[in-house]
Chains A and B, each alone.
Chain A
Amino acid sequence: MSGPPDSHTVIGGPREPQPRGAKVRPGWPIDQSEAADRFIAAPRHLQNHDTRLWTLRQNRDRIAHGIEEWEELRELASQIKEHTLAHLDHYLEMFEANAKANGIHVHWAADAAEHNRIVHQILDEHGARSLIKSKSMLTEECAMRPYLEGFGIEVIETDLGERIQQLDDEDPSHVVVPAVHKLRADVAEVFSKTIGTDPNNDDVHYLAEQQRETTRPLILQADAGMTGCNFAIAETGTFVVCTNEGNADLSANVPPLHIASIGIEKLIPRIEHLGVFVRLLSRSALGTPITQYTSHFRAPREGGEMHVVLVDNGRSERLGMDEFWTSLKCIRCGACMNTCPVYRRSGGLSYGATYSGPIGIILDPTFNRTKYSALPFSSSLNGSCSNVCPVKINIHEQIFAWRRVMAETHEIPLMKQAMMKAAGELLSSPALYRAAVSGADAALRTLPKFIVYNRLNTWTRAREMPKAPDHTFHDWWKANREKTEVQP
């Protein structure tokens, strides 16, 4: 990933240990707010995280405002995705036929376990013992790395942030910037223990260079390469991978074997539609006009072999969920995370899930309803996520809908039950709720009572509620943006 350098404020004193993620207890819901409290108790990490992500959000605003047709692009992207999802069987068959005609081997995996088995089998058939890969949230979702390592296959992440997280044996905390919750001193410690860097040198250039130097021999020795996929084009059987480091192109072009894991929701009908999605992706993610590398794979290179694994893992079920199917439009840009006041103050690991932030809240319960039953309450429902989403997912409305589902299916943990009772009145009044969340300006006008006073708002109540706001929420938001969000 890339972006302009941020100023780095050194706060004196001894090193602040990195706050770790949510505690996972089998059978118990993740308590995001407990992990968030520990993150907030680490002021240097909190400040770095909040500032960095807010900078990305501001960069996004700046570049989006420079494009007259921005809102039209979002609407187009949303409609193209909804169309594709409503005809997904058709487009998947078209993609498969074209990819096969181009010499790509196409596999289908119903779930994570089948995906992992297929990848292992391909590697096994080629006698491959090492795999270099670029970042893929899907392989995280499938927990592929530990599975392959169980067979003695060495898996090497080549994205810098993802490599840091792999070496620290920690999940990525953000879909675009996996190690954004770490300070340079944390990275220096991880690297000194794993790749032998000087523990007292936390210069960022030094750390990045050491990673380059130690990863390169692994890239050259690897038996196979793996990438994810940002967009899969039905009409040509092409898959597109966007990176800033060029590591996907190394993974794909150096070893003789290339495997790509593709979620079935990544389909779009035609090449021309890339002209919509590529224009939106990096502008939304980082505020840059495009990722440094946008690579289109249509057929294996001469003498090479290419496999794609089309993965369902719950997606076709989600397609049938009236209130939640549009979450499949997500292009994993991370904009909703960058803008979310809760996410910026808690870190992605506090969600205890593959996907964190607003998009995580609406995806995670489809994987495990009990485990993620409390996540929908880690939101202030301010609607900012929906406003920045490049494919116009009504994220905050879906978060609210998940609260209702949790209440109806008695998944609400004890600690939230009293609060849900207090919220009953609101829940039983759809008109009141719709008025409160129906779009940006309307929401900001009507939200003060809703968000500031109602007891539904568990997360912010404990943390940053203004004492007696007689001004509007909008004023409060504006005033606090500089004060508490950029420099908490």
Chain B
Amino acid sequence: MSARDAILERIRSHRPSGEHPLPESPDFTRPSGDVQARFVERLERMGGEVLPPDGSGDMLAPLRTRLAAAGRVCSAAPEIEGNVDLDAIARPHDLADVDISVARAAFGVAETGSVLFTEAELRVNAMAYLAQHLVVLVDPADIVESTQHAYRSPLFHQARYVACHSGPSATADIEGVLIHGAQGVRSLTVVFVPRSDASLR
């Protein structure tokens, strides 16, 4: 007998007694009022940051200023042009020396201050982990209230990969001292920018 059949066989002969029906999962979400404000509060608690607008009317101006001062910039968002061509990447390893990666979130979650990406937003998944810093474009209209709402997204049934980031890489493995950038990105910065037509999925 194969291991598979032997395991299934043992499970069938060891079935626990009783009914054990599958419960309904009620939606516990309570409207929080200002979803974006709640998102920001939670994001900051998870170690993330928000890059505020500079009043010029161009919501991307502060980001462009920051990127101009950076070295290698890799962008998967159509609004931002980097100096590392994602189409020319043969292997994820070619992104090892990227300073800042930029991607648009598929959506955000207020309850946890999270941003979610699929392979469509990242284009090369490793870009969100090998870079030193990650900048995330978020359309305020894309923020859902709760984790439970997030799991209603069809992306979980369609995408190969869905990554939910809540702040940057973090560790407290040595004496509980909090460190950002244990392995992945040292910082995660959100810029609120409505989707441009070009990035409509």
Contact = CB atoms under 8 A, between A and B. Distances in A.
A340 B172 CA distance: 21
Interface stretch (A108-116, A393-401, A427-435, A452-460): A108-116
A244 to B, nearest CB: 5
B61 interface: no
Nearest to A96: B4
B96 to A, nearest CB: 6
Residue from A205, A246, A254, A316 whose CB has the most chain B CB atoms within 10 Å: A246
A312 B23 contact: no
A254 B93 contact: yes
A290 B173 contact: no
Residues of B contacting A: mostly: loop
A276 B25 CA distance: 8
A82 B149 CA distance: 24
B153 to A, nearest CB: 9
B176 A5 contact: yes
Contacts of B159: 296, 298
Interface in B1-47: 2-4, 6-8, 10-18, 20-23, 25-26, 28, 42, 45-47
A178 B163 CA distance: 24
Interface string A205-226: 1011001100110011000000
A22 interface: no
Contacts of B111: 289
Contacts of A279: 147-148
B103 to A, nearest CB: 13
A168 B147 CA distance: 38
Contacts of B125: 249, 252-253, 301
A246 B176 contact: no
Interface string A273-309: 1111011000000001111111111111110000000
A247 interface: yes
B42 A289 contact: yes
Interface string A2-14: 1111101000000
Contacts of B101: none
A293 B169 CA distance: 8
Interface string A130-166: 0000000000000000000000000000111100100
A290 B181 CA distance: 17
B130 to A, nearest CB: 7
Contacts of B147: 274-275, 278-279, 290
B176 A269 contact: no
Contacts of A207: 174
A95 interface: no
Contacts of A317: 10, 14
Contacts of A1: 170-173
B156 A4 contact: no
Contacts of A159: 173
B164 interface: yes
A246 B117 CA distance: 14
Nearest to B2: A108
Taking residues whose C-beta sits less than 8 angstroms from the other chain, chain B's interface range is: 35 or more
A246 to B, nearest CB: 3
A245 B183 contact: yes
A320 B13 contact: yes
Contacts of A33: none
B87 interface: no
A292 B176 contact: no
A372 B171 CA distance: 32
Nearest to B179: A208
A298 B2 CA distance: 25
Interface string A86-127: 111100110000000010000011100010000000000000
Interface of B: 2-4, 6-8, 10-18, 20-23, 25-26, 28, 42, 45-47, 92-93, 96, 111-114, 119, 125-126, 128-130, 146-148, 150-152, 156-157, 159-179, 181-185
Given A8-B177, A184-B175, A254-B93, 19 more contacts: A1-B173, A6-B177, A8-B175, A69-B28, A79-B22, A83-B21, A108-B4, A161-B171, A161-B174, A208-B182, A245-B170, A245-B182, A246-B129, A247-B183, A275-B148, A290-B147, A297-B161, A298-B162, A320-B13
24 contacts: A1-B170, A4-B176, A4-B178, A6-B176, A79-B22, A85-B16, A85-B20, A92-B11, A161-B174, A164-B174, A204-B174, A212-B182, A215-B183, A245-B169, A245-B182, A247-B169, A249-B184, A253-B161, A271-B157, A289-B42, A292-B47, A296-B161, A312-B3, A322-B16
Top 6 A-B pairs, shortest CB-CB distance: A246-B184, A320-B14, A161-B173, A2-B170, A316-B10, A275-B148
